[in-house]
Chain A
Amino acid sequence: MQDEPFEMVVGTLMKSRHYVLAVLLAFVLLAVGAVMGQAQTKPLPSDDEVNAVAKELYCPVCENIPLDVCPTQACAQWRELIREKLAAGWNKDQIKNYFKDQYGIRVLGQPPLEGLNWLVYLLPPVFFLGGVFLVYRALSYRKPVAKAGAAANGAPAAVDPYLKRVEEELNKRK
């Protein structure tokens, strides 16, 4: 009886199984190498991408200096840390939260909306509204001018001529 084609192929393969294994291994190695190579050639986040995040953070050591322009070595290291986080796929908020957890709220450009920090956001409008109320009170006491007495251009009331003369004399002696 003649061998079936399938059995012929299997038989051939079994005889040359070492060679087959070697080819398969080479394939796997090539595939892995290609994937790793692709990962390595993926560009690191640029300075602009790093600065876009660093701009919104403040140096934890030198006060009131944004991280993107701080010249200290520590800030340079923190910027590289931002680069690493971006490369690892973190977004801006995640990175900011990381720095906040590590170094405290002082690294954020604005106090977060929690606890006592609510005062930062509440007091300005409260004070302004207080001022608006005072202005309203001042204006609500106004006495509208009677139409007959008001000049078209709102000229002030006539000055007593005697007082005017006195003022002129006094001004001469200034």
Chain B
Amino acid sequence: MVANFGFGVMLLTFLVTLYGIGAAIYGAVRNRAAWVESARATTLLIFPLITLVVLIMEYLLVTGDYQVEFVYNVTSSSMPVYLKLTALWGGQAGSLVFWSWLLSAFISSVALRKWDRDREFLPWVIVAALVTVAFFLGMSLFFENPFSRFWQLPSGKEVSLMFAPLGALPISPADGRGLNPLLRHPGMIIHPPMLYLGFVSFVIPFAFAFAALVTGRTDDRWIRLTRRWTLIAWLFLSLGLVLGSRWAYDVLGWGGYWGWDPVEIAAFMPWLSGTAFLHSVMIQEKRGLFKRWNMILVILTYCLVIFGTFLTRSGVLSSVHAFAQSAIGPLFFAFIGVTFLVSLGLLLHRWNALGSNGDITSLLSRESLFLFNNLLFMGILVICFWGVVYPLISELFTGQKATVGPPWYEMWTGPMFGLLLLLMGIAPLSAWGHSTLKTLGRGIWKPFLVSLLVLVFVYLSGITTIVALLAFWLCAFTFTITIFEYGRAVWARHRATQENLFVSLWHLAGRNRRRYGGFIIHLGVVLMALGVIGIEMFQTETQGTIAQGQSLSVSNYTVTYTDFAEFETADGRDVARAVVAVTKNGQPMGNLYPRRDFYIESQQPMTIPGLSSTAEDDLYVVLVDWNPISSQGATFKVYHNPLVFWLWIGGIVFILGTMVASWPDRDPEIEKVRVGARAALRAQN
């Protein structure tokens, strides 16, 4: 009954969405404002309708209606309530509805803004956004129905359908299969929502770009309108990637954070094109250049978002993320193809109108350096894309599926990431329009000297490989330049206003959030790079089977197996937990508790490492669960991961910087009044 109601609401939402698309197109083509307004009202209606669908699904999940196939697949009676709620995105069917719900929230927000000045955009923004919603709702309705139930046919065969076939009886299993143990980690609870938020919010800039192409408004109005949306999308996507990396580090048990898994790359690709887009739009705003390039980037980002969802959902490439194979692959492929071709067609139609308003006048100008920046981002994107699709191509043409693993990706992307680090430091120093080696040199020479000192220090600490020295130097150089730039501006303001330095820092960031938020983001990236260099270039590991009282050593750490316990938990896990005592350079560092959790109902094991983390390094101890684990002997794998702590700290700084950059600026009128009032008060006193 409840499932039927949920399906009915979903069907109604789909029909309302189709109406909205039709009304918007009709209103735009026939110039009927009432129809466009009706379409806008539709977008406001869709969000509460899908919210109702989501609430119904959550009700079924929490109450454990196992006749519903989706509920059976992702929950069980032993799961706590919070996990039952988050199981909404723990499976294919729920994920698709969740995607639609998040997108409808963003579309409603866009619909609520003031459209007086941009009326011509409105219908086409609605069309682009609602077509995307309709696609995902259609897949939920016709292919991955979250309300399908189990039935037993008169022949005895069991099927999963929305409505009961003739003569069929309902089947209600006593319990569900439970959520995949990998998805029960807190990181996996928040990672998919963040990633999906990033994906869906990139639909908005695309919708505005689409509207600009259709209406011929090829000035930079659509960019100014979507600037904040793009930053928000990028924020969530970045957060999703960082959280996913942390989840991989905590749960997958191979001591790493990024495995160049195809589905990781699928989420990384729109981030790459989105980052290039974020930088490139500044050039269009300031200098009227790169209009075509920006259109290409936003179309590419949208297509990569759908492509990324396609890779994750269709199972076309098996990876740790792929939950199941399904029939929706061809549909996704067709949707990507159609949207790409339509967008490309519009772009070519407006090609001449998208010509630049000016020219690049200097090789070292900021726009020039941003062009190099975009080249590098696109280069990494092409490499990622090629590495993901080549296994399919090799299987298609040779019958053998090649593996394109981390060594290949690192070989090609490493140098490009290095060049990006360098540009990150230099580009903010260059001027719009014109820069020379002399003007750049003035801003660089002091940070350069400081970075050389850091390089000497690193060399004297024992690091002698050229690649590592170069990598550390790049980090030091970019970090120092960024700090110098920020510090110079803070000092100048402090001297002019006599404010406290921290107050100057705060006010400076507040006056130009985009610029100084960008500096903070760059600092975050450098810190993350430091963590990556540490773990990628200096990780060491050891594995061995030891009995209680015996030890393993890696780097300057010794790990001694001291105790073992085995017990069952109330939520249906059989836990084998080891206690290991850690010493570093002979000094005791405390105990770690690596364990193996065996989920009885799903018959799946999961290893949780014991982790000791400091700014200098991490010690990561994991039980090797394919060997026997007991007090007589257990196999441990121990990783020493230098500097990886900075990867996470850098991630936090990165996210904070993005929040600063995307925070709305103060209304200039109100600011004028405020400044005037302060001046008047000072005069009185």
Residues of A participating in the B interface, judged by any CB pair closer than 8 Å:
46-48, 51, 58, 62-66, 69, 71-73, 75-76, 104-111, 115-117, 119-120, 123-124, 127-128, 131-132, 134-135, 138-139, 141-145, 150-156, 170-174
Contact = CB atoms under 8 A, between A and B. Distances in A.
Interface string B357-378: 0011111010010011001001
Interface in B607-651: 625-627, 635
B488 interface: no
19 contacts: A63-B319, A64-B405, A65-B320, A69-B253, A71-B625, A71-B626, A73-B626, A76-B627, A105-B394, A107-B403, A109-B407, A110-B403, A111-B403, A116-B393, A143-B361, A154-B430, A155-B432, A156-B433, A172-B669
B636 to A, nearest CB: 10
Interface in B242-280: 253-254, 259, 261-262
Contacts of A151: 434
B254 A66 contact: yes
Interface stretch (B11-19, B53-61, B63-71, B539-547): B539-547
Contacts of A66: 254, 405
Looking at A64, A111, A127, A173, which has the most chain B CB atoms within 10 Å of its CB?
A: A64
A134 B626 CA distance: 52
A153 B443 CA distance: 12
Contacts of B349: none
Nearest to B381: A127
Contact of B412 (A58, A72, A124, A139): A124
B361 A110 contact: no
Question: Chain B, interface size: which category?
Answer: 35 or more
Contacts of B542: 47-48
B674 interface: no
B286 A156 contact: yes
Nearest to B290: A138
Nearest to B366: A154
B405 A116 contact: no
B439 interface: yes
B390 A106 contact: no
Interface string B306-332: 000000000001111000000000000
A119 B390 contact: yes
A116 B403 contact: no
Contacts of A123: 386
B403 A58 contact: yes
B361 A63 contact: no
A111 to B, nearest CB: 4
Nearest to B438: A152
Given A106-B402, A124-B412, A135-B371, A47 B544 contact: yes
Closest 3 CB pairs between A and B?
A: A154-B431, A154-B434, A109-B405
A138 B280 CA distance: 14
A64 B605 contact: no
Given A48-B543, A64-B403, A106-B400, A116 B435 contact: no
B476 to A, nearest CB: 26
Nearest to A60: B403
Contact of B404 (A65, A120, A144, A174): A120
B407 A132 contact: no
Given A51-B543, A69-B253, A145-B434, A116 B626 contact: no
A156 B605 contact: no
B431 A153 contact: yes
B644 to A, nearest CB: 17
Contact of B390 (A73, A109, A120, A132): A120
